[in-house]
Amino acid sequence: MAIDAASGLTIGSPEYQRFQDQRDMALQKASGLGNNLPVNAETGTDNMQAMQGLSAADYSVGANQSYAPGLAAAEAQLQGIPGTISSEISGGGVGGKKVINTIVNDKGENVAVFEDGTMAVLGKGAVSAAAQVERKSAFDLLKEEFTRYGLQDLVGDTQALAVEGVSPAEFTLRLRQTPTYQARFGANTDRIKAGYRSLSEAEYVTLEDSYQRLMRQYDLPESFYKTGTAGRQPELEKFIAGDVSPAELEDRIQLGVNRVQNASPEVLSTLEQFYPGVNKSNLLAYILDPKKALPDIQRQVQAAEIGGAARMAGGGLTTNLADAQYLASFGVDQAQARAGYQQIAGGLERGSQLSSIYGQTPYTQTTAEQEVFGTGGAVESRRKRQNISGLEQATFGGQSGLSSSALNQGRAGAF
């Protein structure tokens, strides 16, 4: 924002406009024109007075007292008094044109304003004492703020810009273009590419702190949140770039730590079998990867838990990825899978033997899974088991070893 050198007022402000009007009035008087300012013929009111909305008394006082120092400076400029303006225009004009004012623009340059309304840059002017104090104060505030957020590496850039005299409006823009800043907040570039908005510095650092706090809480290795050069935490940048909320990150950590890392060996080995490339050493990194959608990861872990439950049941039970995913699609969780496969393991061998003895279609693990877990084909599977049980009872009498209670309550095989 430009400052008028004569009055010290902000150009464009109401105070500056009033000063300009009053100065014009004073200069016309000084040039011998007297008070021949335009007057409204109907009201008899001085037009300048009317523009300012002042009473005659206030207008007179304002013209003679309110901006007396500024008016004196303006008159001195017109008279070419040395020292009031740049030496380049101390003679009262430039290129034959009379200078009526000088201002300091946003770049700290002296600008001459000529009587015909044109302007010319005269060169860099000395920054006023007030401006120096203001810039130093602004720099000190920024330095304190950056230090509070652990961004000390940016202090050098802010100091350089402050010394350069960059305007407040340009300061933030220029700072964000420095290599140090772009390295420190690099994930913002990736966010914009992905269609997300850029985060403010405070939002960015707050997210980093939230991520780090969660990782410490669940005892994750320090390598997941280690701070590098310029205050960067490279491993956290992918979460910021991927717009991962702290809540989602905690869900991922719980999934990896509680349900997989601390799970039975059967679940871990099944996960490795179903998803080649995943192993205990990279398990957490795999689950925390924001490029992999959390719902997909959850389904993968659920499938591994179902496969692990089949292995834990014994009796030669196994399952493949497709079958485990199929059961997961019916809402079968780890607890249900463990209970169900325990029932299946107790009756599968006997069911297979009986179906072979009586020449029936094979009674398989899939047949038992359909009835126990209530998936597609459950009715047909139940009918098949009942048919085999009926044949056994007709042959030997008594209760069949493949009764519904055997499958449903783990009593199968009690021959």
Q: Dihedrals φ, ψ of 186, to 5°?
A: -60, -30
pLDDT of residue 328: 94
pLDDT band at residue 415 using 50, 70 and 90 as cut-offs:
very low
**Closest Cα partner for 256 from 233, 281, 238, 236?**
281
pLDDT band at residue 22 using 50, 70 and 90 as cut-offs:
low
**Is the pLDDT assigned to residue 137 strictly greater than 70?**
no
Model confidence pLDDT, tens digit, residues 303-354: 999 999 999 998 889 899 999 999 999 999 999 999 999 989 888 878 888 8
pLDDT of residue 390: 76
Residue 216 Cα distances to 94, 211, 254, angstroms = 69, 9, 13
**Is the pLDDT assigned to residue 406 strictly greater than 50?**
no
- Residue of higher predicted confidence among 374 and 81: 374
Q: ∠ at Cα 280 (279, 283), nearest 5°?
A: 75
Q: Dihedrals φ, ψ of 123, to 5°?
A: 130, 175
List of residues 6+ apart from 197 with CB closer than 8 A = 191
The answer to whether 78 and 27 have CB atoms below 8 angstroms apart is: yes
Domains of the chain, residue spans:
3-126, 130-184, 334-409
Report the pLDDT averaged over residues 189-217: 94
- Residue of higher predicted confidence among 318 and 78: 318
Residue written as token pair 């699609």: 329
- Residue of higher predicted confidence among 26 and 320: 320
**Is the pLDDT assigned to residue 50 strictly greater than 70?**
no
Report the pLDDT averaged over residues 227-252: 90
Helices and strands of the chain, counted as H and E runs: 20, 5
Residue 252 Cα distances to 299, 308, 365, angstroms = 12, 20, 33
Q: Which token pair is 248? A: 């989602």
pLDDT band at residue 95 using 50, 70 and 90 as cut-offs:
low
**Is the pLDDT assigned to residue 180 strictly greater than 50?**
yes
**Average model confidence (pLDDT) for the chain?**
73
**3-state percent breakdown (helix, strand, coil) of the chain, nearest 5:** 60, 5, 30
Least trusted range by pLDDT, from 61-70, 103-112, 299-308: 61-70
**Closest Cα partner for 328 from 349, 354, 301, 347?**
301
CA atoms of 204 and 149, how far apart (whole Å): 10
Residue 368 Cα distances to 75, 107, 308, angstroms = 105, 82, 17
Q: What percent of the chain has pLDDT over 90?
A: 30
Other C-beta atoms lying within 10 Å of the C-beta of residue 22? 23
Against a cut of 0.75, is the pTM above it?
no
**Closest Cα partner for 386 from 371, 402, 399?**
402
Model confidence pLDDT, tens digit, residues 259-315: 988 888 999 999 999 999 888 889 899 999 999 999 999 999 999 999 999 999 988
Least trusted range by pLDDT, from 48-57, 78-87, 234-243, 340-349: 78-87
CA atoms of 99 and 89, how far apart (whole Å): 8
Residue written as token pair 């008899």: 44
**Is the pLDDT assigned to residue 392 strictly greater than 90?**
no
